[in-house]
Structure 1
Amino acid sequence: MYMKLTTIILSVGLLVGASTAIGQEPVQIAPQEAPSNDVSNEELEKFAKIYTEVQSESQEMQSEAVTIIESEGMDVDRFNEVANAQNNPSAEVEVKEGEKEKIQAISVKIQKLQQAFQGRVQEMIKKRGLTVQRYQEVYQAIQQDQELQQKLGKMIQG
């Protein structure tokens, strides 16, 4: 259940962007120039610490999102189904009476939750001595470099 929820509401993750599954336009904090693939061990260690903190915060956010969905009287699986259908014009999902209103109320609350989460992630990044832009550059470098991916994996696993 939480994994599905993650794919629906949590696109913040590593890139520190916010995007709701309810049809909102994504907000990305994108670097202005090409990322530097020169990532020091110190930066990679900072990134690894931030990454693990973000994962912990993400789990808390998912739990809060489940509470929001259930407090509006919806099942998480049904919320995911309807939210996915709203973002996929070719999906054929029958929306029952009252569900649109519930989805709208949930989306507003989840958007606020995401904004707060994004702010916390930005603070984590700054606290560890990186800028959001550098964090994103390191992330992009990791995506492009298998050696960095392996180093990061070892750092995260301890």
Structure 2
Amino acid sequence: MIMFFLMIGSTASFAQTQPLPQAQQVQNEVTDAELAKFVKALQGIQMVTQKAQQEMIQIVQTEGMELQRFNEIHQASINPEVEVEATSEEKTTHKKIVGQLESMQAGIQQQMEKLITDQGLSLEKYEQIAMQLQSDTVLQQRIQQMLQG
């Protein structure tokens, strides 16, 4: 997986949150209609990210680098604690690939935002539900039921 680039958009911004105090949970109640919109947007976003993943893998392979090697070099480039030996040719290829992937990112972000707003949700509401989902087991169960139904 191309970890750095798959952290795109709203699906990747799910943050670890502390459970909300009871009073705040009531205030942030998610209606069934909002949840249905969220689920539809999320399903669309998953399709966009899967397609983007395949395209990113294709770019890495087209440039003649193995995916695992790209990830090793990339991790070392973004994390000073990770060291990897790479030839100057590998570094050049890595840099070229990163440039191509970054140029894709804005379009992918726009597609995901459009999926959210096309469902009638604001980006803020989508984010709020996504964050609430991290700690709210009732909300998680409601989404599971919608996905199964």
2:136 to 142, 145, 153: 145
User: For the Cα contact (< 8 Å) 1:142–1:149, is it kept in 2?
Assistant: yes
Deviations 1:20-63 (A, max 9, x none): xxxxxxxxxxxxxx996221111011101111111111110001
Query: Where does the alignment leave 5 or more consecutive residues of structure 2 unmatched?
Result: 14-23
Other-structure match for 2:99: 108
Pairwise CA RMSD of aligned residues?
A: 1.9
Greater relative contact order (CA < 8 Å, ≥ 6 in sequence): 2
Other-structure match for 2:21: none
Other-structure match for 2:18: none
Structure richer in helix, relative to its length: 2
Q: TM-score, normalised by structure 1?
A: 0.80
For residues 57 and 156 of structure 1, what CA distance do their matches in structure 2 show?
18
Q: CA deviation at 1:13?
A: 5.0
Relative distance call for 1:124 and 1:16 in structure 2 (3 A) is: farther
Q: How many residues align?
A: 138
Aligned with 1:14: secondary structure?
A: helix
Other-structure match for 2:83: 92
Other-structure match for 1:52: 43
Relative distance call for 1:57 and 1:125 in structure 2 (3 A) is: same
Relative distance call for 1:102 and 1:157 in structure 2 (3 A) is: farther
Other-structure match for 1:23: none
For residues 41 and 102 of structure 1, what CA distance do their matches in structure 2 show?
48
For residues 133 and 100 of structure 2, what CA distance do their matches in structure 1 show?
33
User: For the Cα contact (< 8 Å) 1:14–1:51, is it kept in 2?
Assistant: no
For the pair 1:62 / 2:39, whether they are aligned, the reply is no
> Larger Cα Rg: Structure 1 or Structure 2?
2
